[in-house]
């Protein structure tokens, strides 16, 4: 029993300092392992408003451990302004592939972006101001501030280097298009695959002429800034020219005043070109409503009252696509739709006699005009598609073997 007591006493004597030390030192910053490689630099590929900061991850990183960044405009300043506070298990370089790519080690480094001007909001700051940063690691009441002072100046960049892949693709595709435009000049009898929807334009216009009923051209909902609206305007010009030749009646409904103004000009010029300026009636190109569903109600009303012999739905459509096309179908009109809104394509395919799918909308102008230079672009589109298919096949094969560099090569930033 005595031996037991003695053993307990000795153990207690040795254990007490251990426990005290543990309790004391657990509270002390010495147990927070400070990170290293703290660096600041101007964020690449930006407008010059941000500064990037990076540092290595610490073994102390945990949800209740924080990193605090202090900012000062003077290297010898007090660094009292807190620029950012983040949980130490967040914000890694993996979240910034536009700067660090997809390296395996990215998860071992933290990365943040700061807007120094916003931090010093209201203060007059020189454009060439260099900002100084200090990093601290903190948990509870403990905090270690690193001695390292990182500095950087926010500068605007003239080139977005990460968009170089996009630029290269643009240049390659543009070169192909230009080549085929030049080629088409020398060889105007270029073979073009048949597009059913466009071949049916003459049939639709002929039917309207024979029946003595109008042709209704319905614009999509997007403004003149949309490329599909520009394509729709081009098609309208070609159709208006044919209608002027056939002496049929064309009605163009719009929901955007600018699109309406452009449409009026295009139709007027087409009638002039056909030598029938007297047949042009500006009241036939009109605005019906600027909102989506009032537009649908108004166009639906025109369809049921005037019963056009042919309806053209060309441009970018949303939920109104099916309502318009289904109403047109009930009136017995021949319907041709063209859109690049892939969500609405099934509705048009279901309810229209012919549908121009996606790129065919952009091909329509060239196809209808048969101008050699415009037709050259159609061939170029097909060649471009061929190239993309090759890249897709190559990418699929490489990805199957775990080589993903081609995926990153085509990544958009």
CB of 90 to other proteins, least distance (A): 26
For residues 221 and 295, the answer to whether their CB atoms sit within 8 Å is yes
CB of 232 to other proteins, least distance (A): 10
CB of 294 to other proteins, least distance (A): 7
Token pair belonging to 170: 């643009």
Q: Which is nearer to other proteins, 150 or 361 (CB)?
A: 361
Q: What angle do CA 111, 115, 116 make, to 5 degrees?
A: 110
Q: Which is nearer to other proteins, 15 or 45 (CB)?
A: 45
CB of 323 to other proteins, least distance (A): 6
Q: Which is nearer to other proteins, 27 or 290 (CB)?
A: 290
CB of 339 to other proteins, least distance (A): 10
Q: Which residue(s) pair with 374 in the sheet?
A: none
> Please, is 146 exposed, middle or buried when counting C-beta atoms within 10 Å of its C-beta (0-12, 13-18, 19+)?
middle
CB of 360 to other proteins, least distance (A): 8
For residues 313 and 348, the answer to whether their CB atoms sit within 8 Å is yes
Q: Which is nearer to other proteins, 69 or 231 (CB)?
A: 231
Q: Which is nearer to other proteins, 36 or 170 (CB)?
A: 170
Beta-carbon contacts of 335 under 8 Å, excluding residues fewer than 6 positions away, are 310, 311, 312, 313, 325, 328, 329, 351, 352, 353, 354
Q: Which is nearer to other proteins, 149 or 181 (CB)?
A: 181
Cα-flanking dihedrals φ and ψ of residue 137, to 5°?
Answer: -115, 135
Return d(Cα 29, Cα 144) in angstroms, integer.
6
**Sheet arrangement for strand 109-114:** 39-42, 51-56, 109-114
């Amino acid at each position: 029993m005595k031996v037991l007591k003695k053993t307990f006493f000795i153990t207690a004597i040795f254990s007490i300092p251990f426990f005290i030390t543990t309790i004391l030192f657990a509270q002390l910053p010495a147990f927070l392992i400070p990170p290293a490689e703290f660096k600041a630099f101007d964020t690449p590929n930006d407008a010059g408003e941000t500064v990037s900061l990076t540092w290595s991850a610490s073994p102390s990183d945990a949800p209740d451990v924080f990193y605090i960044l202090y900012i000062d405009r003077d290297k010898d300043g007090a660094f009292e302004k807190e620029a950012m506070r983040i949980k130490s298990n967040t914000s890694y370089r993996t979240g910034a592939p536009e700067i660090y790519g997809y390296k395996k080690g990215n998860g071992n480094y933290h990365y943040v972006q700061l807007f120094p001007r916003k931090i010093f909001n209201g203060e007059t700051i020189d454009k060439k101001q260099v900002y100084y940063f200090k990093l601290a690691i903190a948990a509870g009441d403990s905090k270690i501030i690193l001695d390292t002072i990182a500095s950087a100046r926010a500068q605007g960049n003239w080139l977005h280097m990460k968009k170089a892949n996009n630029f290269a693709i643009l240049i390659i595709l543009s070169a192909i298009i230009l080549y085929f435009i030049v080629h088409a000049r020398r060889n105007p009898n270029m073979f073009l695959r048949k597009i059913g929807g466009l071949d049916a334009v003459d049939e639709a216009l002929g039917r309207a002429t024979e029946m003595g009923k109008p042709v209704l051209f319905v614009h999509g909902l997007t403004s003149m800034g949309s490329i599909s609206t520009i394509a729709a305007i081009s098609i309208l010009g070609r159709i208006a020219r044919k209608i002027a030749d056939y002496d049929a009646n064309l009605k163009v409904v719009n929901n955007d005043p600018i699109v309406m103004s452009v449409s009026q000009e295009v139709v007027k010029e087409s009638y002039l070109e056909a030598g029938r300026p007297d047949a042009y009636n500006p009241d036939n190109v009109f605005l019906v409503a600027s909102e989506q569903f009032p537009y649908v109600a108004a166009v639906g009303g025109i369809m049921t009252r005037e019963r056009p012999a042919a309806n053209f739905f060309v441009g970018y459509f949303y939920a109104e696509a099916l309502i318009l096309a289904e109403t047109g179908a009930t009136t017995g009109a021949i319907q041709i739709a063209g859109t690049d809104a892939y969500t609405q394509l099934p509705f048009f395919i279901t309810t229209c006699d012919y549908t121009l799918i996606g790129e065919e909308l952009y091909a329509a102008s060239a196809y209808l005009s048969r101008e050699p230079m415009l037709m050259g672009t159609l061939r170029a589109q097909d060649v471009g598609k061929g190239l993309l298919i090759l890249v897709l096949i190559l990418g699929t094969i490489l990805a199957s073997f775990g080589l993903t560099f081609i995926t990153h090569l085509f990544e958009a930033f």
